Structure 1
Amino acid sequence: MMTGQNQTKEGQNQTKETEENPSMCLTRVERREARRRLMAARFYYWTEVRRRRFDDVMHILSEHEFFVGERSIMDVLRGVSHYLSDLHTRRETAAALRRAYPSWNWEG
């Protein structure tokens, strides 16, 4: 094993950088889930915090933020509906979303 790397329980190599930053995703599945949750958070932000119309939000997500078709976005939102419901229940603010996803603009 190379110096500076550890084995995780799944057998994935973990570098010193990822040990210090647990929010970094290691596997393809983890990256996919993080992307899906981010898409739900952005949908919530645009519809609930910024109060934009559904069709406008779908256009923003599709054409300006994630570069995927609107049908793909709907499939993702259906898949993470539990997370989206949780955001609604907690009435997340832009500040809370900024803390969770600091590299994105939550100011509008």
Structure 2
Amino acid sequence: MGHYEANALLVETTHYVFDVTGFDDYNGIPSSQQKKVTERYWRDGEQLKATVTVEDPMFLRKPASYTMRYLPAPKGYKLKAFDCDPEAARLSVQFIPPRYK
């Protein structure tokens, strides 16, 4: 669910399933149904900034946060097509124990 606070968009995501692949799919730290992710987006001049905070008391001793910044694309920049293979994206689901699906 998202809402605005001052000049920032806050998005809180809950209701995750147990995931052995990790809280961001590449670090190897599993996540649980207790995971909560809070995203905060705001403009800083021409930049878009985002802070992501992950809480999961089952696997993390304390919340983990990181901040990203996005710069505007140069004039005339064209986005390239990106194909997503839905079957390849689902591969990690096969490792989730049935009781968590």
More helix by share: 1
Structure 2 length as normaliser, TM-score? 0.22
More strand by share: 2
Structure 1 length as normaliser, TM-score? 0.21
